[in-house]
Structure 1
Amino acid sequence: MPSSDMVPYVMPGSAVLPPDRTGWSIDPGRAALVVLNVQNHFLHVLRESSAPVGELLAGVGLLTESARAAGIPVLYTLKTAEREPDGRETSFGHPRLPGGEDSRDVVDAIRPQVGDSVLVAKRFSAFAGTRLRRRLAELGRDQPVIVGVFARTQVLLTAADAWMQDMEPFVVADAVADRAHDDHRMAVDWIAATCGAVRTVRGVVDVFGGPGPRHREGGRPSTPLM
C-alpha cells in the first residue's frame, strides 16, 4: 500500500502543456487510440508510488468509450515477456510482470471490447516486434493517439517510433502516468520538443466527437494479435 502521507502528483492541464511545435490537428478519419500496458500489475506499481492512478483510469476510460462511439479504432498493447528466447533482458530495471495471469490482465474498468485490437509487446516501443504498424495501415490510420503507462519509457518510445515511421503521434498528457511527477513531466516535455503533439483528455474527446462513457452490455476482450 502507498504511504499514508503520499499525495498523488497532479495531472497536467491545458494551461501547463509545453508549446506545440507540430502544427498538427487530430483528424478522426486518421486517428487511432493506442492504449499501452494498462495491466493490473503495472497499475499496482503505480498505486504504490505518487501516480494519480484514479485520474489515469478515468481519462483512459473516457477516451476509449469516446473513440468507440465515434468509430475510431482502439488498439491495446500488453507486456508479457521479460526476456527473449535467447535470454536477453527486455525490462532493464523496469517493473517485472509476476507469473500470475491476473497480474497480466487489463484492469477491469478499461478492458478491451469486441472490435478492439490487442497486441503483445516485448519491448518499450509498442511498434517493436508487433503488428501495430501493419494494423494501423490496414485501418488507414496514421495518427496514433497514445495513452497508458509508463510515460518515460513505453509512451515516450512509442511516440518517437511512430514519428520516425512518418506518422503523427499525439500523446494525451493527462491519460499517461509514471511513478513520479518528474518522470511524467520529462516525457511530456521531451515528446513535445522532439517528435509529437501533446493534448489533454478533454481536447481529444471534443475532437473525437463521441459521447462519454456508457455502459456496454456483453463486451468481451478481443483476441490478441501478435
Structure 2
Amino acid sequence: MPIAAIAPYAMPATMPDSRVNWAPDPRRAVLLIHDMQHYFLRPYQPDAEPHADLMANLLAIRQRCTELSIPIIYTAQPGSQLPAERGLLTQLWGPGLTDVETDTAIPAPLAPAGGDIVVAKHRYSAFIRSPLATMLATAGRDQLLIGGVYAHIGIQATAVDAFSHDIQPIVLGDAVAAFSADSHQASLEYMAAHCARVLTTSDAVRALRRRPASTTPAGSPPAKPPTAAAGSAPPAAALAAVFSAAAFAGERR
C-alpha cells in the first residue's frame, strides 16, 4: 500500500488547450504549493525527470510570486495520524507518513519562508477540513495557482474544489508531477477540459511579468474588486488578519 517507486518520465513540453482563458493576476492570485513533502517525493529519482523540473519550476514561480507579494500557501499532511483521522485513505495507502522530519518536511530549497502559510491537509483536496476557502474569500483572492504532487490525485481534486468555490484554478502543468507520464497527461487534459486553466510555468511567469488586468469570461461570476494595485503588497492589516496562523490554524513560517 505504500507509494511505489516512480519511474522517470519527461515533463510535458506543451499543455492541453484549456476551455477558459484566465490569466494569472497578482491582485487576485494565491500560490498553492501542494504536498511537497519528503514522503511524497521519495518515490521519484531526485536527479531525474520529472523531479528535477518539478523543483526548478516551483522555485521559479515561487520567486515571481514573492517579488509581487502574492501570498504563498503550502499544504502539508500531518504525520502519524490515527486511522480515524485518515479515514478511507488508510484502506488505499496504508498508514501514510510518520511524524518525523524525513517524512513531513518540505525540501530545504523549497521550504516555506517567513510569512508563508502552511495548512494541514487531511484529504485529497486541499479544501477539505481546512480553512483554505475561508482564507481566500476573506482576502478577496479568487485565483489559485497550483503546483506540487500528485497531479492526478490531490492536484486534480483541489482544482475541482477550487472551481466549485468560484475560485479560478490555474494549474502549472510542468510544476506538478504524477505516477507516470500517462497519468500526468490525463490529469492535465481533464482539468483543462473541466475546471482549470493549464499553463506552463514559464507562461505563468511571463503573464505575471505583464501584470495583466483581471480576465472574466462571459457568463462567469463577476471578479472581486482588487484590494491593491497590481504587483504591490496587499493591505498589511487585511492580510495580517486573513493569513493568520492564530485565526486559521495554519502554521506561519
TM-score (norm 1): 0.84
Cα gap change, 1:29 to 1:177, in 2 (>3 Å): same
Q: Does 1:89 align with 2:85?
A: no
Cα gap change, 1:130 to 1:86, in 2 (>3 Å): closer
Q: Offset at 1:87?
A: 6.6
- 1:218 is matched with none
Unaligned runs of 5+ in 1: 211-221
- 1:18 is matched with 16
Identify which range, 51-60 or 150-159, moves more after superposition. Answer: 51-60
Q: Does 1:53 align with 2:51?
A: yes
Q: Offset at 1:97?
A: 1.1
- 1:109 is matched with 109
Q: Which amino acid letter does the alignment assign opposite residue 106 of structure 2?
A: V
Unaligned runs of 5+ in 2: 211-243
- 2:61 is matched with 63
Q: Percent identity?
A: 30
RMSD: 2.7
The question of whether the paired residues in 2 share the 8 Å contact of 1:51 and 1:181 is answered with no
1:63 and 1:87 map into 2 onto residues whose CA distance is: 31
Q: Offset at 1:182?
A: 0.9
The one-character-per-residue Cα deviations of 1:128-166 (angstroms, maximum 9, x if unpaired) are 001111111232211101000001111000000000111
2:146 and 2:137 map into 1 onto residues whose CA distance is: 16
Q: Which amino acid letter does the alignment assign opposite residue 202 of structure 1?
A: S
Q: Offset at 1:83?
A: 4.8
- 2:140 is matched with 140
What does 1:70-219 align with in structure 2 at a 5 Å threshold? 70-80=68-78, 82-83=81-82, 85=84, 88-94=87-93, 96-209=96-209
Q: Offset at 1:68?
A: 0.8
The one-character-per-residue Cα deviations of 1:69-126 (angstroms, maximum 9, x if unpaired) are 1111111011125555367232553472134233100111100011111100100000
User: Larger radius of gyration, structure 1 or 2?
Assistant: 2
Aligned length: 210
TM-score (norm 2): 0.75
2:82 and 2:149 map into 1 onto residues whose CA distance is: 20
2:23 and 2:112 map into 1 onto residues whose CA distance is: 26
1:87 and 1:201 map into 2 onto residues whose CA distance is: 32
Cα gap change, 1:151 to 1:158, in 2 (>3 Å): same
